[in-house]
């Protein structure tokens, strides 16, 4: 069944964009039709990672009510997907657009929520998209909460920093639970020794839970070679046997069943 997945985090730099993009490519390689939307209007990044040049239309335009979603989407199926379709909606990276988006009022945000909610009909039904993946801004702000309310599933990515873990716990219980969202927690950039054996993984999960019920989906170790590429390598396509891609495949299967 078709799903909207919002990838969110409490703090920035947890790996949301890397996970969203590779997850989108993995689903497309499995033959699914996928639409990935950059909803991080404060720090747009998909355009530079995917090296999309001369983009004319942005997700900003869709939320502003200027263009239809079909006009905004860039089709990367030929270059980035082996079987299914991969459509991408980019956030406008110009300083003017970032400034404009950060100055929107509450009425605009309300309409933006309506537009995100209506994507389910326009993309999932009319365009036969199987997965819509939202790459969101970190923390509690309008664009990310709009994305969470519109999504069926929230994948929250956290690093091992104590402030990140505590903030993520709060968001799970005070945000996602309030909106009755299915939530999956992905611990990212975990010190590799903590995941070296099954016993170590269980110990870490127990420690993270700390009497709180956290829906841990998976734990990804810190890969220096991923950091070294500086976001220029699309691992799902360029290095499909990499352990990171294997873990992401596992996550993709888990999300399919959520």
Partner 1 sequence: MTVRKLEGTQTRLLQKIKESLDRLNEKMEVFIELQKHNSKVNPEIPDVLDVMTLLSLPDHLRKTAITICRLEQGTANDVAEQTKRARAVESSYLNQLVMMGYLKKERRGRKAYFYVEKEVGDKTWQRS
**How far apart are CB 37 and partner 1 at their closest, in Å?**
17
CA angle 146, 150, 151 (to 5 degrees): 120
Decide: 176 and 9 in contact? Cβ < 8 Å.
Answer: no
**How far apart are CB 66 and partner 1 at their closest, in Å?**
5
Among 65, 102, 196, 203, binds partner 1 (CB under 8 A): 65
> Which residue number, 106 or 198, has a Cβ lying nearer to partner 1?
106
Beta bridge partners of 145: none
Among 34, 165, 171, 175, binds partner 1 (CB under 8 A): 175
Strands laid side by side in the 216-221 sheet = 74-75, 86-89, 34-38, 131-135, 3-8, 153-158, 182-190, 216-221
Q: Does 56 bind partner 1 (CB under 8 A)?
A: no
Q: Does 180 bind partner 1 (CB under 8 A)?
A: yes
Decide: 33 and 247 in contact? Cβ < 8 Å.
Answer: no
Q: Does 100 bind partner 1 (CB under 8 A)?
A: yes
Cα 147 to Cα 133: distance, rounded to the nearest angstrom: 10
Q: Does 191 bind partner 1 (CB under 8 A)?
A: no
Decide: 153 and 183 in contact? Cβ < 8 Å.
Answer: yes
> Which residue number, 175 or 220, has a Cβ lying nearer to partner 1?
175
Site string for partner 1, 146-165 (x = CB under 8 A): x--x----------------
Q: Residue count at the site for partner 1 (CB under 8 A)?
A: 25
Among 142, 176, 194, 235, binds partner 1 (CB under 8 A): 142
**How far apart are CB 149 and partner 1 at their closest, in Å?**
6
**How far apart are CB 56 and partner 1 at their closest, in Å?**
13
Q: Does 193 bind partner 1 (CB under 8 A)?
A: no
Q: Please, which of residues 104-133 interact with partner 1 by CB under 8 A?
A: 104-111, 113-114, 117-118
Contact residues: partner 1, CB under 8 A:
61, 64-66, 100, 104-111, 113-114, 117-118, 142, 145-146, 149, 175, 178-180
């Amino acid at each position: 069944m078709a799903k909207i997945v919002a990838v969110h985090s409490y703090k920035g730099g947890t790996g949301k964009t890397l996970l969203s993009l590779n997850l989108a490519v993995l689903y497309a390689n499995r033959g699914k039709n996928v639409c990935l939307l950059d909803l991080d209007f404060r720090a747009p990044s998909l355009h530079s990672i995917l090296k999309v040049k001369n983009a004319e239309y942005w997700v900003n335009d869709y939320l502003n009510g200027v263009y239809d979603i079909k006009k905004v989407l860039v089709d990367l199926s030929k270059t980035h997907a082996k079987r299914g379709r991969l459509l991408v909606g980019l956030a406008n990276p110009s300083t003017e657009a970032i400034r404009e988006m950060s100055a929107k009022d509450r009425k605009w945000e309300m309409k933006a929520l309506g537009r995100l909610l209506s994507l389910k009909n326009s993309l999932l039904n009319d365009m036969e998209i199987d997965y819509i993946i939202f790459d969101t801004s970190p923390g509690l702000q309008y664009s990310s909460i709009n994305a969470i309310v519109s999504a069926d599933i929230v994948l929250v990515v956290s690093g091992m920093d104590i402030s990140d873990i505590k903030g993520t716990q709060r968001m799970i219980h005070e945000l996602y639970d309030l909106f009755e969202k299915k939530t999956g927690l992905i611990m990212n950039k975990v010190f590799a020794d903590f995941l070296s054996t099954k016993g170590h993984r269980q110990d870490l999960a127990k420690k993270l839970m700390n009497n709180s019920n956290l829906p841990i989906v998976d734990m990804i170790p810190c890969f220096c070679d991923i950091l070294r590429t500086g976001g220029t390598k699309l691992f799902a396509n360029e290095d499909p046997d990499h352990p990171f891609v294997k873990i992401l495949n596992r996550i993709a299967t888990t999300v399919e069943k959520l």
